[in-house]
């Protein structure tokens, strides 16, 4: 499948199967904003829940936080965002399209020939808003462009209430907003998105060791989502291109259909943020080391990833279009789409079907559905041919299907079908929950 064609097919599939579609679509949509449908929100939540369990609940040195989307404008002044969160904007004089200077390519102008650009202009990529009923400079602030600053301004509060000692981390998943000049490549570059990141506080001198540890942990987590190792590579930012706060930054790039692009990253932010907020606020944000009796600003290692980008990578990895998967003559000539999600990420874990909608088959199928529903997200379907129902579940990535047929009424067994191998076997109704739990591993 050609890469550009693959992305087009994924966009079409995502809308058709209830995963993702443009926001405000009945009014023509709005660039850079997407809604996650019934299956998309399940996939997204599964990614977030697994991340939270891995990096917060299963660790003793990381605690969680949910900070406000809107904070005092003084936060953005102290962090450098108000003056420094700037993109360079150019506009084509012929077609009037606007571009970020960093993203310029050799693509042709819609009016023919090459683009003719204006001189670059500075553009603040933060969404501006006001607090209260009066709109003036005193009430101005911004929708946050990142979640990190909430963790820095709450550092001392968390330190005092959690009684943690260095090294320790603060984790957060939350909405962020960036007024991108150009949104493109589906979920890759959008204006509203979720970030999952950790600010891990360490003593200066130990920062390089923990940087390497977090880079390894970040890669391991991504690989556990079903991403192939050969589709990941690291990009070390040269010193001249580092952000003003960074001592070192390494991106984890993924081989998207539109090329190798940033999926996640790890940055060494040194003590820039805590020292900046202490100077601006006048509040003591230093850490007191009980062992050495020293007070100092910790260095910060920041592993971060975008949930939408990660969801897109997971979909790209799982998406397969194939022919002749189904052996009937009609189906063999049709293209079939299968999503090979890992069991942990699959939006629906099991689908339950009666073979036909008559006799006692629907009743038995409903009993099985109700028994499994408290354990996992289960789907029930009794309309259409059994082959079509299987294919619908393949398209949303359901790992297993349970079918109640006439043999069920005789010996109380059902058919259990595997999505990837398409193999079917019979199991006793009394064994369904245990067998499926073992297969799912969750």
Residue positions forming the annotated binding site for substrate: 100, 146, 302-306
Which tokens sit at 281? 């606020």
Q: Single out the residue of 162, 163, 192 nearest to residue 177, CA to CA.
A: 192
Q: 1-14 b/e with 16+ CB inside 10 Å = b?
A: eeeeebbebbbebb
**Binding residue ranges for ATP:** 178-180, 188-193, 262-263, 306-309
3-class state of residue 319 by DSSP: strand
**Binding residue ranges:** 100, 146, 178-180, 188-193, 262-263, 302-309
Q: What is the β-pairing status of strands 121-124 and 86-91?
A: antiparallel
Tally of helices (H runs) and strands (E runs) in the chain: 14, 23
Which tokens sit at 409? 């009424």
Q: What does the angle CA 294 – CA 299 – CA 304 come to, to the nearest 5 degrees?
A: 150
Which tokens sit at 322? 């194939």
Q: What phi and psi values does residue 36 have, to the nearest 5 degrees?
A: -100, 120
Length of the chain: 442
CB atoms under 10 Å from CB of 323, counted, come to 11
Q: Is there a contact between 405 and 389 (Cβ–Cβ < 8 Å)?
A: no
Q: Is there a contact between 371 and 414 (Cβ–Cβ < 8 Å)?
A: no
């Amino acid at each position: 499948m050609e890469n550009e064609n693959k992305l087009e097919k994924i966009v079409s599939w995502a809308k058709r199967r209830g995963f993702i579609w443009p926001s405000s679509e009945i009014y023509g949509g709005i660039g850079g904003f997407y809604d996650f449908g019934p299956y998309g929100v399940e996939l997204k939540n599964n990614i977030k829940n697994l991340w939270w369990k891995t990096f917060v609940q299963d660790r003793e040195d990381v605690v969680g936080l949910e900070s406000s989307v809107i904070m005092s404008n003084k936060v953005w002044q102290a962090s450098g965002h108000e003056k420094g969160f700037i993109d360079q904007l150019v506009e084509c004089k012929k077609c009037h399209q606007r571009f970020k200077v960093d993203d310029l390519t050799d693509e042709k102008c819609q009016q023919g020939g090459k683009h003719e650009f204006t001189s670059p202009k500075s553009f603040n990529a933060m969404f501006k808003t006001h607090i209260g009923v009066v709109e003036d400079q005193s009430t101005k602030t911004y929708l946050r462009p990142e979640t990190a600053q909430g963790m820095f301004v709450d550092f001392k509060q968390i330190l005092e209430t959690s009684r943690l000692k260095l090294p320790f981390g603060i984790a957060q998943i939350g909405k962020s907003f960036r007024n991108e000049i150009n949104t493109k490549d589906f979920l890759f570059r959008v204006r509203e998105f979720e970030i999952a990141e950790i600010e891990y506080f360490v003593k200066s001198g130990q920062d390089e060791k923990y940087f390497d540890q977090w880079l390894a942990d970040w890669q391991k987590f991504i690989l556990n989502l079903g991403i192939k190792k050969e589709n990941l590579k690291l990009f070390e930012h040269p010193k001249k291109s580092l952000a003003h706060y960074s001592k070192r930054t390494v991106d984890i790039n993924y081989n998207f259909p539109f090329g190798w692009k940033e999926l996640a990253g790890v940055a060494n932010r040194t003590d820039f943020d805590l020292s900046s907020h202490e100077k601006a606020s006048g509040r003591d944000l230093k850490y007191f080391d009980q062992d050495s009796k020293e007070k100092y600003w910790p260095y910060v290692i920041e592993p971060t990833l975008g949930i939408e980008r990660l969801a897109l990578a997971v979909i790209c990895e799982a998406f397969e279009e194939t022919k002749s998967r189904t052996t009937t003559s009609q189906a063999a000539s049709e293209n079939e789409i299968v999503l090979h999600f890992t069991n942990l990420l699959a939006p629906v874990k099991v689908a339950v079907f009666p073979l036909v909608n008559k006799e006692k088959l629907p009743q038995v199928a409903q009993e099985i559905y109700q028994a499994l529903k408290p354990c996992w997200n289960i789907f029930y379907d009794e309309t259409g041919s059994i082959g079509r129902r299987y294919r619908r579940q393949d398209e949303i990535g359901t790992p297993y299907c349970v079918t109640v047929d006439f043999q069920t009424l005789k010996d109380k067994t059902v058919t259990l079908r595997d999505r990837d191998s398409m193999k079917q076997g019979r199991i006793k109704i009394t064994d369904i929950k245990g067998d499926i739990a073992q297969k799912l591993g969750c």
